[in-house]
Amino acid sequence: MSFTVVLVGRPNVGKSTLFNRLAGKKLALVDDTPGVTRDWRAAPGHVGGLSFTVVDTAGLEDVSDDSLEARMRRQTERALDRADVALFIIDARAGVTPLDRHFANLLRKGRTPVVLVANKAEGKAGMPGLYEAFELGLGEPLAISAEHGEGMADLVQALMPYA
Ligand code: GDP
Ligand code: MG
């Protein structure tokens, strides 16, 4: 039985970049425009000998009269329903934003186990965000670079209990 890993977080933190790395294909649409992934998508994912289903989420900019928070909550709840574990991704370079805090509050209330991931942590530019991430109350952040493939061994360690 494979397990399911859902990537959640505000737009532009690198969810689709990580999805592409784990899925090994250019399946998700990556763009500099926040929230450009139009829907969530699932694919077989692999890292360090682990196999799972990886789900990318977005669509937060979909046409809707609802607030960003409302859409985010709805989408996150739907995604978490099918997840064994959620990777909650923040942008280590941008630091912790109000939307990140909003997300963290949702995730802390849910039943799905959460692994906090600080992406864009290559080089030193991600250091401040990494320290800030501790205040989200979701444990120690995992520093990765989805773009450069750094931190993948730590990611494997974090996912191992759910395999
Ligand atoms: P999403 O909206 O969360 O799916 O974010 P995307 O995957 O579309 O990425 C948003 C932007 O962040 C793109 O310009 C990516 O190239 C960039 N990005 C993603 N991962 C990294 C990373 O590890 N390091 C850096 N420096 N940029 C990244
Ligand atoms: Mg995306």
- 54: domain CATH number is 3.40.50.300
Nearest residue CA, atom 12 of ligand 1? 14
Higher pLDDT, 70 or 97: 97
Is the minimum distance from the CB of 76 to ligand 1 under 6 angstroms?
no
- pLDDT tens figures, 34-46: 544 444 578 899 9
Start-to-end CA span in the chain (Å): 8
- pLDDT tens figures, 77-118: 777 888 999 999 999 999 999 989 988 988 898 889 999 999
| Dihedral angle computed from the Cα positions of residues 66, 72, 78 and 81, in that order, rounded to the nearest 10 degrees | -150
Cα(27) to centroid(ligand 2), Å: 10
Domain region containing 27: 3-162
Is the minimum distance from the CB of 32 to ligand 1 under 6 angstroms?
yes
Give me the pLDDT at residue 36, please: 47
d(CA 117, CA 96): 12
Of 84, 93, 149, which Cα lies nearest the Cα of 113? 84
- pLDDT tens figures, 52-69: 999 888 644 444 566 767
Q: What is the pTM of this model?
A: 0.88
Which ligand lies nearest the alpha carbon of 99? 1
The residue whose CB lies within 8 Å of the most ligand 1 atoms, and thus the one to mutate among 19, 30, 89, 119, is: 30
Sign of CA dihedral 38, 122, 53, 138: negative
Is the minimum distance from the CB of 59 to ligand 1 under 6 angstroms?
no
Contacts of 161 (CB under 8 A, 6+ apart): none
Of 39, 49, 47, 62, which Cα lies nearest the Cα of 155? 47
Distances 46 to 3, 21, 133 between C-alpha atoms, Å: 11, 9, 26
Number of domains in the chain: 1
